Amino acid sequence: MSPDDYTPHSGDRRYRVEHYDLTIDYRLSTNRLDAVAVVHGRVVEPTKSVSFDLVGLRATKVQAARGGVAGGKGGRIGFTQTDRKLKVAFGRELSAGDPFELTIAYGGAPRPRRTRWGTLGWEELEDGAIVASQPIGAPSWFPCNDHPSDKATYRFTVTTDPGYTVAAAEPISTATKGGRTTWVFERSAPTPTYLATVQIGKYVARGMDVAGVEGQVLHPAALAGRVDADLAPLPRMMGVFTEAFGDYPLPSYRLVVTADDLEIPLEAQGMGVFGANHIDGRGSLERLIAHELAHQWFGNSVGVARWRDIWLNEGFACYAEWIWSERSGGHTAQAKALGHWAALAAEPQDLVLSDPGPELMFDDRVYKRGALLLHALRLTVGDDVFFRILRTWTQRFGGGTAATEDFRVLAASVAGRRLEAFFDAWLDAPALPALPEAPEGAAGIEPAPVTQALNVNPRAASGD
């Protein structure tokens, strides 16, 4: 793992984390978090120390487990802290491959981290809390190696005030003692720090069958009717996506609808989070439900190895919206592509999809041009090969990370043809390439009229 050019002050290349065990006590009335993080890691190069990203919270004690630092005796060890980093000194040099287990006590009043992409991380709601970390908000609530390629497993033990429901991962147990409730969750799927989450609110929690996948929706009781109406397509959506992308990659899928309005929906591992403004009871933003579900394959299971490859998350999730549209009787992907191509052609031609730069990594043109690349690939290789590429991609890289070059190589291999010129034009040149002609009679991509109902505003909300 090397430092990410887009987030050069985040992460530490000298180690990788295998497991985080987080015990959190959070009081909503005072916004006070007291926590202990047990971090199981392994150094990847000789080093006498490691650093964790931690912002806005103060560490009070760091201990090594007996035998937890390459067989050491254990006990308290030295650390220093700046406004962004917690540096832990082992006291001796560890060799590449040596494991460590550190227990870090920390606390404070969590707040979102201010970044060039806005405020990120742990944030108070009107009556609850939300975690929205992409790309560097995770240090606002736990000490971590905040790099997208460093995936780990998690255990969350969250204690909070009575009357609130907590969502974080797969639920293990819930117990109330002394007027406070403790929730325990586990996440066995490898997960980067920005996709770890805790959601707290006065929610009704209901189970649902999502086309054979265990599902759950958490929402304010007053929004039940709107939630039921807008989530009715979800089982069919899951069926369409499993056919197109391969088996759903996680044990379950949860949706959280907050009482607050949110600027955009967002994905976490095994979870989609929506504001009350995204669930109106009329299905007005159904495409966003599709977008967040698709991220469980693209971004969450197959993660990015570096932030410059963000199109692999967002372009794929955006194209999933178009697939859902055509499979559910809406506009075909071809109609969507024609409309969005025309809109992007009128925009400045100054974005390179394979390396948009940190300022533009969440620009809507990354989403739409990424989706257009996929549609152009579909037109180039045909439906059978295209969907075989997508399923091979999720199967080969599921649970890990990948880069743009990996997709280029895989697509050419599955297609059995050279695609260098195609990818050079779509990925590495700022000018928007023309879309290939649609093969006459091709399934699912017949040309269709672009109407006023087709949203082609390149600045419209794209999901996360």
Q: What CATH number corresponds to the domain at position 422?
A: 1.10.390.10
In a domain, 76, yes or no: yes
408, pLDDT greater than 90: yes
**With bands split at pLDDT 50, 70 and 90, how would you rate the model's confidence at 74?**
confident
**With bands split at pLDDT 50, 70 and 90, how would you rate the model's confidence at 71?**
low
52, pLDDT greater than 90: yes
Contacts (Cβ under 8 Å, ≥6 apart) of 461: 263, 264, 288
Cα angle 302-303-306, degrees, rounded to a multiple of 5: 145
In a domain, 442, yes or no: no
**CATH code of the domain containing 279:** 3.30.2010.30
d(CA 250, CA 255): 14
Query: Does one domain contain both 186 and 95?
Result: yes
In a domain, 310, yes or no: yes
Q: List, for residues 24-49, the tens digit of each pLDDT value.
A: 999 999 999 999 999 999 999 999 99
Query: How many structural domains is the chain composed of?
Result: 3
Taking alpha carbons only, the member of 428, 460, 241, 464 closest to residue 336 is 460
Q: For residue 399, give the amino acid letter.
A: G
451, pLDDT greater than 50: no
Query: Does one domain contain both 172 and 284?
Result: no
Q: List, for residues 202-260, the tens digit of each pLDDT value.
A: 999 999 999 999 999 999 999 999 999 999 999 999 999 999 999 999 999 999 999 99
First to last CA, the chain: 25
Query: Does one domain contain both 170 and 30?
Result: yes
Contacts (Cβ under 8 Å, ≥6 apart) of 452: none
| The pLDDT value given to residue 184 | 98
| The pLDDT value given to residue 457 | 33
Query: Does one domain contain both 188 and 328?
Result: no
In a domain, 450, yes or no: no
Q: What range does the domain containing 421 cover?
A: 303-428
246, 264, 294: which is the final residue of a domain? 294
Q: List, for residues 269-282, the tens digit of each pLDDT value.
A: 999 999 999 999 99
Q: List, for residues 149-188, the tens digit of each pLDDT value.
A: 999 999 999 999 999 999 999 999 999 999 999 999 999 9
**With bands split at pLDDT 50, 70 and 90, how would you rate the model's confidence at 453?**
very low
| The pLDDT value given to residue 454 | 36
Task: Report the percentage of the chain scoring pLDDT > 70.
Answer: 93
Query: Does one domain contain both 43 and 144?
Result: yes
Q: List, for residues 208-224, the tens digit of each pLDDT value.
A: 999 999 999 999 999 99
Q: List, for residues 75-110, the tens digit of each pLDDT value.
A: 899 999 999 999 999 988 999 999 999 999 999 999
In a domain, 67, yes or no: yes
Q: Residue 289, Cβ neighbours under 10 Å: how many?
A: 24
Query: Does one domain contain both 149 and 218?
Result: no
Query: Does one domain contain both 271 and 336?
Result: no
Q: List, for residues 303-342, the tens digit of each pLDDT value.
A: 999 999 999 999 999 999 999 999 999 999 999 999 999 9
Cα angle 448-318-312, degrees, rounded to a multiple of 5: 130
Polymer length in residues for the chain: 464
374, pLDDT greater than 90: yes
Peptide bond into 135 cis (omega under 30): yes
d(CA 67, CA 29): 40
Mean pLDDT score, 114-136: 97
294, pLDDT greater than 70: yes
Instruction: Give every strand in the sheet of 47-53, ordered side by side.
Output: 47-53, 85-94, 79-81
| The pLDDT value given to residue 448 | 37
Q: Output the six-digit token pair for 223.
A: 């929004």
398, pLDDT greater than 70: yes
In a domain, 5, yes or no: no
Q: Residue 75, Cβ neighbours under 10 Å: how many?
A: 10
Q: For residue 146, give the amino acid letter.
A: D
Query: Does one domain contain both 385 and 274?
Result: no
Query: Does one domain contain both 69 and 168?
Result: yes
In a domain, 81, yes or no: yes
Q: Output the six-digit token pair for 360.
A: 């533009």
Query: Does one domain contain both 22 and 149?
Result: yes
Mean pLDDT score, 135-141: 98
Taking alpha carbons only, the member of 347, 322, 346 closest to residue 335 is 322
Mean pLDDT score, 6-27: 98
| The pLDDT value given to residue 69 | 75
| The pLDDT value given to residue 78 | 94
Q: List, for residues 411-449, the tens digit of each pLDDT value.
A: 999 999 999 999 999 999 999 999 999 876 554 544 333
Taking alpha carbons only, the member of 148, 39, 156 closest to residue 103 is 39
Task: Say which range, 289-298, 357-366, 444-453, has the weakest mean pLDDT.
Answer: 444-453
Q: Give the residues across from 210 on adjacent strands.
A: 213
In a domain, 9, yes or no: no
What SS3 string covers 416-438?
A: CCCCHHHHHHHHHCCCCCCCCCC
d(CA 210, CA 132): 24
196, 216, 249: which is the final residue of a domain? 196
Residue 357's SS3 state is: coil
Task: Say which range, 191-195, 296-300, 411-415, 435-439, has the weakest mean pLDDT.
Answer: 435-439
Query: Does one domain contain both 341 and 271?
Result: no
Residue 289's SS3 state is: helix
Query: Does one domain contain both 236 and 359?
Result: no
d(CA 227, CA 221): 10
Q: Output the six-digit token pair for 265.
A: 């929906």
294, 314, 348: which is the final residue of a domain? 294
